[in-house]
Chains A and B, each alone.
Chain A
């Protein structure tokens, strides 16, 4: 019978001040968890409205303008306030110091500040929302955003600008912490793969985010002060905006998916009881994705009037990103091969991730091929593709990780049966929502329209039905995680029998994480090989 520890970070101080002024990375992670969950359901509610509207060919639920605002706000909230911060700010904040045997991140005050910056950016976005919304699409292309849109572009752009600094500060904190705060003996190649991918993500964040910040600033200056950067009337080039925007926003895709890949590496090792196959290849694949990710933005501009030669090179480079991504998928599969797989909830998410990410990645190659892309640009094929990466990839990884480390975070177990059921519902709901969209896009249904020819209705109804199943799937974990806080079984330090420093301390951990600084003498996934187990 496991005993709940008497002293831990959750009972080290009570009351609202002990949370809002905390410097403990674990409490800040929970602050982020609350804020991010809030924005997830805000962003999700826009998706619900869109899917209801799309159930019939006529645009009859909302007006055209409102529909424009729905998909814009869905995109902005989900990308900037959920997908980008989700895994780094919640799981990363909680785990980076625990995984390296440190007491906290290098800059605890900065960490708290980054949460407040996130909230401030969120308030601007909510302000834009309640005072009328934005209709430019989350991409905010000029000159629509700088001149023609009459909606609340400035507060929304400010929200994106401000929130960017919260990601930058978190990433900076992780980079310094991983460089300078590792426990004795914890060399780079003994780091858990989650940290390699967190590190690679942080590098992208630090290098990419300032570019979107300055771009938003230029848009703001053009809109408010009538400065000229992208305005064709004075010789400005709107395509330059697209280059600047995608220079950040394409790498941002990897900001969203790389941390999930790190989570999957941990899950596969823990539930197959084997070291990750080809550890260093998986580690370097993260860095390769981070570097290559900066060289492919032009594949968003194939039909924007970019030179054909530039497009050819961007197309080729985009194909290259498939290599490190495939290395990861193959290595996870090779890890599972002859592993002692236990089908617990986090593993279900991991397997779901591998399948959905593979579909999302392969359809990405369709879009990277110039000839195909000319036909598929701005169709539902693109929507389906990136939702397979972001929802099928990032959210699967996020939920898998949240389940895996929930006993560490809360000290209690979630109800396993219900959790497996929810994982199944999410997988089915997800595919029913988004697979029909591949076909819709292939048949030519454009994105961002809410009225469509009647022959598309069957597939749209399937998609809307899937979305409602998916919605239930997302509500379930909310409910049983909350339930488990009080009624869950006490977890103990290491309920999954996993390796890793975070499992050597109590659940929930004490404020200072470890009673004594751990000394590391081995690699991250030292599970006994099946042969040894047999002998023992």
Chain B
């Protein structure tokens, strides 16, 4: 067993054994996710400051978002996190077919999310809710609402970009799986892909209430 992992084809030359290699890869992904938290954190900070400054405008503007589509998307994304976790489990048990199945389902769910998101974007374009010279809104809030929609587009846009990257990574994993690269001794690429995908989901778990939900009941 031990000798197996020392001459495993996936073992890079500069590591002592597969265990060290796996630990390095997963620590690397955690550190990367830390930078991602700070990356989104900057945008969340801007959101917090302006929500505090222009509370009423943000409440009115958030009413323009489609809660139904947002809720469906949240469910889709949480579902994709489940299938991603199942893909990692399948990798641990060494079932190639299940890895492929769950990765494909995760990719499909990710694409459904992006599809619904683009429908929402299209609505906003038609309603002239894209900030800039053509922005139209209730005259009382037309200035500050632009800040809300600027944040909406940048934050959900960055989130969508991260999903596209994640889908690309999963396609690579699918290709590796089809060539029998993974085994119960070596599945760390699937595992760190899972970490990344869960992170992208968690970002949405914060975006959804902040942009769509809070302040929805009560005033206006």
What is the interface of chain A, defined by CB distance below 8 A to chain B? 102-108, 168, 172-173, 175-177, 179-181, 206-211, 213-215, 217-218, 221-222, 225-229, 233-237, 240, 244, 247, 512
Partner of B133, one of A218, A226, A237: A226
Contact B14 A103 (CB under 8 A): yes
Partner of A211, one of B39, B49, B133: B39
Which of chain B's residues have a CB closer than 8 A to the CB of A210? 35-36, 38-39, 41-42
Closest to B130 in A: A225
Q: Closest 4 interchain pairs by CB? A: A210-B39, A214-B42, A226-B132, A227-B150
Instruction: With A222-B150, A228-B146 given, name 4 new contacts (CB 8 A).
Output: A206-B35, A210-B39, A226-B132, A244-B45
Contacts A175-B31, A234-B143, A234-B146 known; A207 to B38 CB distance under 8 Å? yes
Contacts A214-B39, A227-B150 known; A172 to B144 CB distance under 8 Å? no
- State whether the Cβ of B27 lies closer than 8 Å to any Cβ in chain A: yes
Partner of B24, one of A180, A209, A215: A180
Docked Cα-Cα span, A215 to B132, in Å, equals: 19
Contact B131 A228 (CB under 8 A): yes
Which of chain A's residues have a CB closer than 8 A to the CB of B154? 217-218, 221, 227
Which of chain A's residues have a CB closer than 8 A to the CB of B158? 214, 217
Contact B20 A221 (CB under 8 A): no
The winner among B12, B23, B28 for most chain A CB atoms within 10 A is: B28
Contact A221 B14 (CB under 8 A): no
- State whether the Cβ of B1 lies closer than 8 Å to any Cβ in chain A: no
Which of chain A's residues have a CB closer than 8 A to the CB of B34? 206-207
Which of chain B's residues have a CB closer than 8 A to the CB of A218? 42-43, 46, 154
Docked Cα-Cα span, A176 to B42, in Å, equals: 25
Contact B27 A176 (CB under 8 A): yes
Contact A225 B28 (CB under 8 A): no
Closest to A206 in B: B35
User: Nearest chain B CB to A511's CB is how many angstroms away?
Assistant: 10
User: Nearest chain A CB to B176's CB is how many angstroms away?
Assistant: 15
- State whether the Cβ of B53 lies closer than 8 Å to any Cβ in chain A: yes
Write the B123-139 contact mask toward A (1 if CB under 8 angstroms, else 0).
00000000111000000
User: Nearest chain A CB to B156's CB is how many angstroms away?
Assistant: 13
Closest to B43 in A: A214
Write the B176-216 contact mask toward A (1 if CB under 8 angstroms, else 0).
00000000000000000000000000000000000000000
Contact A103 B49 (CB under 8 A): no
Contact B27 A180 (CB under 8 A): yes
Closest to A103 in B: B14
Which of chain B's residues have a CB closer than 8 A to the CB of A106? 14, 24, 28
What is the interface of chain B, defined by CB distance below 8 A to chain A? 12-15, 20, 23-24, 27-28, 31-32, 34-36, 38-43, 45-46, 49-50, 53-54, 131-133, 143-144, 146-147, 150-151, 153-154, 158
Partner of A240, one of B14, B46, B150: B46
What are 21 residue pairs bridging A and B, where the CB atoms are less than 8 Å apart in the complex? Answer: A172-B28, A172-B32, A173-B28, A175-B31, A176-B24, A176-B28, A180-B27, A210-B39, A210-B41, A211-B38, A214-B39, A217-B154, A221-B150, A226-B131, A226-B133, A227-B131, A229-B46, A229-B151, A234-B146, A237-B53, A240-B49
Contacts A172-B35, A207-B35 known; A235 to B24 CB distance under 8 Å? no
Partner of B35, one of A168, A177, A234, A247: A168
Contact B42 A236 (CB under 8 A): no
Which of chain B's residues have a CB closer than 8 A to the CB of A233? 143
Contact A176 B38 (CB under 8 A): no
Which of chain B's residues have a CB closer than 8 A to the CB of A172? 28, 31-32, 35
Which of chain B's residues have a CB closer than 8 A to the CB of A175? 27, 31
Contact B46 A181 (CB under 8 A): no
Which of chain A's residues have a CB closer than 8 A to the CB of B153? 221, 227
The winner among B14, B45, B146, B150 for most chain A CB atoms within 10 A is: B14
Contact B147 A229 (CB under 8 A): yes
Which of chain B's residues have a CB closer than 8 A to the CB of A214? 39-40, 42-43, 158
Which of chain A's residues have a CB closer than 8 A to the CB of B39? 210-211, 213-214
Closest to B38 in A: A210
Docked Cα-Cα span, A228 to B46, in Å, equals: 11
Contact A180 B20 (CB under 8 A): yes
Which of chain A's residues have a CB closer than 8 A to the CB of B146? 227-228, 234
Contact A236 B45 (CB under 8 A): no
Which of chain A's residues have a CB closer than 8 A to the CB of B133? 226
User: Nearest chain A CB to B24's CB is how many angstroms away?
Assistant: 4
Which of chain B's residues have a CB closer than 8 A to the CB of A225? 131-132
Contacts A104-B14, A218-B154, A235-B53 known; A211 to B147 CB distance under 8 Å? no
Contacts A103-B13, A225-B132, A227-B154 known; A180 to B49 CB distance under 8 Å? no
The winner among A209, A225, A227, A512 for most chain B CB atoms within 10 A is: A227
Partner of A235, one of B28, B46, B147: B147
Which of chain A's residues have a CB closer than 8 A to the CB of B38? 206-208, 210-211
Closest to B20 in A: A180
Which of chain A's residues have a CB closer than 8 A to the CB of B45? 244
